[in-house]
Amino acid sequence: MTSDTTQPNDRNNATGKLPPGMVLGPDGKPCKICTAFRNWKPAEGQQAQNRKQAQDAKAAAVMAAAASGTSSQARPDVRPENCPPDVEVLGRSTWVFLHTTAAYYPDKPSPTQRANMLNLLHALPVLYPCSHCASHLGEEMQVYPPDVSGRIPLSRWLCERHNEVNERLGKEKFDCAKTDERWKDGPSDGSCD
């Protein structure tokens, strides 16, 4: 277990210079992929530039619509789906991939399958784009090395690592007895069949 349970948000807030929830990257600058979209507040200069770009794009869209005789689209209230991911979208997608891959991992994996699974998991602390997420995971993996001996132990190991993140973020822990139901079989009432 990591000794540093401080959230990067707390660390950043301690400086009193960043908006709540904004996270710094290893280069000391605000880290977009480490920050939830709702907490991402570009600096004033950047905001002005973004506003100008948005206004220019809107004006161009109005002119194009007028020229083609169609009405212009209003700017959506919610973030369009084709925007780059924030820390939450990236996290959710990664968990879906990891839990599902574990759920379909063989009960008796071959040496090659074990080695590839280990490579996949060990790559995360090195390559995962959210740097503080990656380093927390790396610390966790040193204390709790991945168990790739079979589907069930791997799913449990992953569930426990996910629960560590849930706990750190103040979320409820997931019942690890339910990983197959959530990621493979679906509920017994058949609502997902």
Ligand X SMILES: Cc1cc2nc3c(=O)[nH]c(=O)nc-3n(C[C@H](O)[C@H](O)[C@H](O)COP(=O)(O)OP(=O)(O)OC[C@H]3O[C@@H](n4cnc5c(N)ncnc54)[C@H](O)[C@@H]3O)c2cc1C
C-alpha 138/C-alpha 26 separation (Å) is 15
Question: In angstroms, what is the minimal distance from the CB of 115 to ligand X?
Answer: 21
Cβ nearer to ligand X, comparing 129 with 150:
129
Question: In angstroms, what is the minimal distance from the CB of 132 to ligand X?
Answer: 5
Residue 169 within binding range of ligand X, rule CB under 6 A: yes
# binding residues, ligand X (CB under 6 A) = 21
Cβ nearer to ligand X, comparing 79 with 92:
92
Contacts for 61 with CB less than 8 Å, ≥ 6 apart: 72, 73
Contacts for 112 with CB less than 8 Å, ≥ 6 apart: none
Contacts for 87 with CB less than 8 Å, ≥ 6 apart: 23, 33, 34, 35, 36, 130, 133
CB 180 within 8 A of CB 193: no
- Amino acid letter at 82? N
C-alpha 118/C-alpha 50 separation (Å) is 42
Cβ nearer to ligand X, comparing 32 with 132:
132
Cβ nearer to ligand X, comparing 52 with 171:
171
Residues from 128 through 167 that contact ligand X (CB under 6 A): 132-133, 136-137, 159, 162-163, 165-166
Cβ nearer to ligand X, comparing 5 with 113:
5
- Residues at the interface with ligand X (CB under 6 A): 87-88, 91-92, 94-95, 99, 124, 132-133, 136-137, 159, 162-163, 165-166, 169, 174, 179, 182
